[in-house]
Amino acid sequence: MAVATAGTDVWRPGTDVWLDRRRRVAELRTRYGFARQLLDFYGALLPVQEKAFIDAATAQPPAGALVAYAAELVFPGVVDVSVAAGPDRLRVEVIDRVAAQDARDIVAAWMRGEDQPQVDRFLARASLGPALEAIAEARAACEGPRDAHHCPECGGLPQLSFFARSSDDLASGPRKLLCARCGATWGYPRMTCAACGEDTGARLPVFSEHGTTSGARGSVVRGLPAGKEVARPDAVFPHMRIEACDSCRHYLLSVDLAIDPAAVPIVDELAAIPLDLYARERGYTKITTNLMGF
């Protein structure tokens, strides 16, 4: 039996991350009718991003030229799809911003981590993200701290947390964080706030739907069915939870791949708008908003 050692990346996306993302968008737009507007737009954006990823991996632009590369070659495609398939407000604002500001400035400001209007952040992130995913040197050239709370590759903030698939059906996998900027993942201890490092259990509430922990389902052993028939409510997000911190009042969403092995964290997180609304209602702020601004 393969024994997972510290640092081993147990979770591996399919051979093609873009195929995985497209598949998951198709699955979730059926399952989560409430998020269809967002998922359809993300689904329209994915081919643009995938092409940008493949082109960047082939062209390997130097890190210093990455802003210009993304602004000239990817940005126009993101603008086109936003205008063609985006919600009304995005459409209007994108047209405004493109007329008012140079694409390079928008992308460069995001690279520097500056405060930006949400529409700028979307345009820059959607344009530059695929290239950062594709080129390791570009990630290394990004500004930002390289500490436990930031991506070791690019210094970005964590977008979400996920429990990796485990090599053992009965054990949950190690916790990982996924970078909002470059999509890299890194290991992070459970029961520790990803924003401030708080590790007192009582200050780290976890919010999930009723009946989604094994114990609540009537099973004492993770992965095994309940021993007796218990009321089993159909949870909307059986594999997701809100991990909040009462010290810094931040939260992020967490995806458990042991519960739903077909989940693609980056897509599932985008679709879980009701959980974001719930967390926000309780006064928590996401560590950093996702691509679609939630």
Partner 1 sequence: MGVAGAGAIAASGLGFDVAVAESTKVKQQLRIEGAAEAHSICPYCAVGCALIAYVRPRPGGAIELLQIEGDPDSPVNEGRLCPKGATAMQLAVSPRRVESPLYRAPGATSWQKISWDDMLDRIAKNIKASRDATFVAVDANGNTVNRTEGIAFAGGAAFSSEEGYVATKVMRGLGLVHLEQQARV
Q: Which residues bind partner 1 (CB under 8 A)?
A: 3-4, 6, 33-38, 41, 86-91, 93, 117-119, 122, 163, 166, 168, 170-175, 189-191, 201-202, 204-211, 213-216, 220-222, 233, 236-237, 242, 273-278, 281, 289, 292-294
Q: In DSSP terms, which residues pair with 123 in a beta bridge? A: none
Cα–Cα distance between 187 and 232 in angstroms, integer? 32
Q: What element of type H or E holds 36?
A: helix 36-59
Between 139 and 286, CB nearer to partner 1: 286
Q: For residues 87 and 100, is the Cβ–Cβ distance under 8 A?
A: no
Between 68 and 214, CB nearer to partner 1: 214
Q: At its nearest, how many Å lie between partner 1 and the CB of residue 136?
A: 27
Between 56 and 123, CB nearer to partner 1: 123
Q: Which two tokens stand for residue 170?
A: 């009965």
With tokens 């970005």, the residue in question is 156
Compute the radius of gyration of the chain from its Cα atoms: 19
Cα–Cα distance between 143 and 155 in angstroms, integer? 6
Q: At its nearest, how many Å lie between partner 1 and the CB of residue 154?
A: 23
Between 77 and 274, CB nearer to partner 1: 274
Cα–Cα distance between 191 and 205 in angstroms, integer? 9
Q: At its nearest, how many Å lie between partner 1 and the CB of residue 209?
A: 6
Q: At its nearest, how many Å lie between partner 1 and the CB of residue 217?
A: 9
Between 5 and 15, CB nearer to partner 1: 5
